[in-house]
Amino acid sequence: MFERFTKEARAVVVGAQQQARELGHETIGTEHTLLSLLAGDNGAIRDALSNRGVDQTSVRQAIIEHVGDHSEATTIADRDAEDAAALKAIGIDLDAVRAAIEENFGAGALRLPRPAPKKRGIFGRFQTGTSHIPFSPRNKKVLELSLREAIRLKHNYIAPEHIMLGLLREGAGLAALILAEKAVDFDAVREQLTRSLNSHAA
């Protein structure tokens, strides 16, 4: 099936994994695929959804509201806030301690050292050191449905629009819930994307 994916559609799949990783999520859900579709260069999808008030920022915020942001930066910030509150409870002002350290040891004394540069793998790609994130069953279904949408439209390739059509057809994942909460008319979006695909195929 993946041999039918266009370069842009493959970028959506890779982008969904990146979106899940950035949010610190353990599976790649339909919501990450939607976020990746909106982050890409696909004007047809952005036009179909932005006309209905849906964009990358609003979808990311909705994902965080539903699932949370488990990224390392958020976890560290939350831990720092908890530590500051605990120290304040026993009479220690963390800001005063930081100021005293910087006064004695110089500005930036508390900054962490810069991380070592990422190493390139044998294929020239950067090694991230992060483990593989699996696709959720619903998201696997979306990718299967994107193939069915391509077959339905008599296309021998799968483009990002087909993935979006598959997402709409699946209709039960978090992406569909977010779109429904934003009062998106699935049929209207489906029709607009089908027209766009057919105009490119003609």
Per-residue pLDDT of the chain (202 residues), as tens digits, is: 567 888 898 888 888 888 888 888 888 888 888 999 988 777 888 888 887 778 888 888 888 888 776 554 444 444 555 666 666 677 777 677 667 777 777 776 556 555 555 555 555 555 444 567 888 888 899 999 999 999 998 998 998 999 999 999 998 888 899 899 888 889 888 998 988 888 766 5
Q: Is residue 154 part of a domain?
A: yes
Domain termination residue (choose one: 55, 90, 105) = 105
Q: Is residue 131 part of a domain?
A: no
Are 12 and 59 part of one and the same domain? yes
Query: How many domains, in total, are found in the chain?
Result: 2
Are 101 and 11 part of one and the same domain? no
Q: What global pTM score does this model have? A: 0.68
Q: 52: which 2 tokens?
A: 């209905």
Are 20 and 58 part of one and the same domain? yes
Q: What is the identity of the amino acid at 144?
A: E
Domain containing residue 38: 2-69+137-201
Are 65 and 92 part of one and the same domain? no
Domain termination residue (choose one: 105, 129, 157) = 105
Domain termination residue (choose one: 59, 86, 105) = 105
Are 50 and 91 part of one and the same domain? no
Q: What per-residue string of b and e applies to 6-37 under the rule 16 or more CB within 10 Å gives b?
A: eeebebbbebbbbbbbebebeebbbbbbbbbb
Q: Give the N- to C-terminal CA distance of the chain in Å, as an integer.
A: 23
